[in-house]
Amino acid sequence: MSTLLVCFAGHRGKNTVRHQPVENPREPGNQQTSAWLPSIPRWRPSTEFVLRESWRKSPYLPALEVQNAIARQHLDELKAKGTSSAKNILLFYEHYPVFTIGIRNKSVDSAERKRLEDLGAELWLRLARDFDVPASTTCDTGVWVNDNKIAAIGVRSSRWITTHGIALNCDIDLSWFEHFIPCGLEGKGVTSLSKETKQTIQPQDAIPAFIESFQNVFDCTVMLDNSKDLITDGVL
């Protein structure tokens, strides 16, 4: 199941930098292919993210615990000192197929959740363009190629700590999506970079384009650190 999972584990602060749309803002029902930039969070002054990756498939729960451990470190420092010196970390990994049920966090209002979803969409729009895939956004969450979703967005924000993230279908067995209605959207399908480009594209192939897009959208620097194994050794 080759889906690139990118998880944001970091403290983003309460201030944001507002960016105006390059073209007309999105309206419900309209697809958008231009580079529409929503509000971009101002992360801590270091504007640095540490990228950790694991290309061994892992069970879902151990990977989730890595995220939770990083989030707890940020939360503990915020409670003790009012700020967090822990690193902002991007987690890249792939886990075995799993069905999950999402939980909405009521501490984040709908406008903030929408803004985070838009940021994730902008990342994948830029990445898709690097592979000449005509992706777009609609009033539905995610990134689409016509009526087929190619990337999902599930960023979670609680107490100004961001976890979970976004997923891009690279070379995935699409038959898994026949067992349920993806995102509860009747009549919609799922696609992948490999299907759209008619060539095999693994998650590793998409990493360079993702990093470039992430740095541009968030105005930050991403530094690679694979000194430890993401799952077995942890990242702290």
Q: Which residues are catalytic?
A: 183
Q: Give the helix/strand (H/E) hosting 164.
A: strand 161-171
Are the CB atoms for 194 and 159 separated by under 8 Å? Answer: no
Query: In angstroms, rounded to a whole number, what is the distance separating the alpha carbons of residues 102 and 40?
Result: 25
Shortest CA distance to 123 belongs to which of 223, 28, 189, 35?
A: 35
List all residues 6 or more positions away from 138 whose beta carbon is below 8 Å from its beta carbon.
Answer: 29, 30, 31, 32, 144
Residues in the chain: 236
Q: What are the residues whose beta carbons fall under 8 Å from the beta carbon of 133, sequence distance 6 or more?
A: 145, 150, 193, 196, 197
Please enumerate in sequence order all residues whose Cβ is within 8 A of that of 64, keeping only pairs 6 or more positions apart, or say none: none
> Cβ neighbours of residue 210 under 8 Å, at least 6 residues apart?
4, 6, 123, 127, 168
